[in-house]
A = this chain, B = another copy of it.
Amino acid sequence: MKTKWNYRTPGIPDKFFIRGKVPMTKEEVRAVTLSKLRLKSDDIIVDIGAGTGSISIECALIAEDGLVYAVERKEEGIKLIKENSQIFEIDNIEIIQGIAPEILKEVPKVDKVIVGGSGGKLKEIFQWLELSLVESGRLVMNFITLENMYRAIELLKENGFKDIDVTQLFVSKGRSIANLTMMEGHNPVYIISAVKE
């Protein structure tokens, strides 16, 4: 399998990434998440809860003159982000092991922020965004739990974010069984995006 991605559209197939047992944002959810980020080629991006690094890598490929900070607390994730970065020949990802937002103190102003795994620190992340996300910077968050999704919407309102977009994506995928196409449902994901005032 050719692994370097030669295309200009995001949504790299899941199977191109090494995953281990770390949960990965599926390709369709990733494509929509990236569309809500509205990336430019020189964006500085923070990906909180980077997991396998699949979103960080797509960001790094598109923001080729920019930089992606991939924040992940788990050793296994850090290892996967490194491996996947090598596979896709990425050199503009800076991997940061630790818990956001504490670990982000050294990170300068950023243009775009993705929250894929808040670890319950949503409130603190919003405090950090207040300082560190540029004006008109975009924030995109993915949630699979109802409570974090709700809290994120409340925090967006409390912190004066605008253009709040709440999208729920329910994807099912065909699997071939004996020449039939069986549809398998994925877990629904809430993709919430907004712009800093």
The residues of B that contact A182 with a CB separation of less than 8 Å are: 144-145, 187
Q: Digit string of A176-197 for contact with B (CB within 8 Å is 1, else 0)?
A: 1101111111111000000000
A173 within 8 A of B: yes
Interface segment, A25-33, A67-75, A94-102, A124-132? Answer: A25-33
By beta carbon, the residue of chain B nearest A148 is B180
Residues of A in contact (CB 8 Å), total 51
A188 & B172 in contact (Cβ 8 Å cutoff):
yes
By beta carbon, the residue of chain B nearest A62 is B8
A185 & B187 in contact (Cβ 8 Å cutoff):
yes
The docked-state distance in angstroms from the alpha carbon of A150 to that of B180 is 11
Q: Digit string of A30-69 for contact with B (CB within 8 Å is 1, else 0)?
A: 0110111111110000000000000000000011000000
The docked-state distance in angstroms from the alpha carbon of A170 to that of B35 is 17
A28 & B39 in contact (Cβ 8 Å cutoff):
no
From 96 to 155 in chain A, residues with beta carbon under 8 angstroms from any chain B beta carbon are 144-150, 153
The residues of B that contact A27 with a CB separation of less than 8 Å are: 35
A40 & B183 in contact (Cβ 8 Å cutoff):
no
By beta carbon, the residue of chain B nearest A35 is B11
Known contacts A37-B9, A146-B150; A173/B181 CB under 8 A? no
A32 & B10 in contact (Cβ 8 Å cutoff):
no
The docked-state distance in angstroms from the alpha carbon of A129 to that of B177 is 27
A89 within 8 A of B: no
Please list the residues of chain A having a beta carbon within 8 angstroms of any beta carbon in chain B. 6-11, 27-28, 31-32, 34-41, 62-63, 144-150, 153, 164-174, 176-177, 179-188
